[in-house]
Amino acid sequence: MNTGLLHLHNLLRWVVLITLLLSIVKLISGQNALKTSKILLISAHSTLVLGLYQYFFGAFGYALIKNTVGGMKEVMKDGAARFWAVEHITSMILAIVLITIGHIRLKKGAKASTTATFYLIALLLILSAMPWPFRAGIGRPWLPGL
């Protein structure tokens, strides 16, 4: 089950990325982005729930801090451990918070440029904290299970 949930987490990242990009394009070009933005919000929150599960019950989250002799101090010195124990979760939660605020603002009738700004920052955070296959030590497959 664990593997299946991780595969879902991997796959949902594409739904998040595509709907995030599409929302930004629609917001900038003056189209109605509400529906796309809602799909984005739901997929981002689902990715969050699956991520929290991985973090607390999988091998690449809290377990890294708990099982490392020296704890957090040593984890922070090891690039790969730091990425999984700290960087991925922090950046992604921040990005999802920005997506949530951006979506709610949009729903409440704020200017499109306000939401577009929130979404752009979220996009940069997500792109930077992604375990892209080409990233040394932390690379993961483009698609689940490849």
HSE-CB at 58 with a 13 A cutoff on CA atoms is 17
How many whole angstroms separate alpha carbon 83 and alpha carbon 66? 15
Contact 119, 99 (CB under 8 A): yes
Kindly state the number of chain residues that form the binding site for ligand HEM, as judged by CB under 6 A.
37
By CB under 6 A, residue 131 contacts ligand HEM: yes
* Interface with ligand HEM (CB under 6 A), residue from 24, 33, 89, 138: 89
By CB under 6 A, residue 45 contacts ligand HEM: yes
Residue number of the CB closest to ligand HEM reads 51
**Footprint on residues 56-75 left by ligand HEM (CB under 6 A):** 58-61
By CB under 6 A, residue 105 contacts ligand HEM: no
How many whole angstroms separate alpha carbon 89 and alpha carbon 51? 8
Sign of CA dihedral 91, 39, 23, 8: positive
How many whole angstroms separate alpha carbon 80 and alpha carbon 78? 6
Residues in the site for ligand HEM, rule: CB under 6 A? 6, 9-10, 13, 16, 41-42, 44-49, 51-52, 54-55, 58-61, 84, 88-89, 92-93, 95-96, 100, 104, 107, 126, 130-131, 140-141, 144
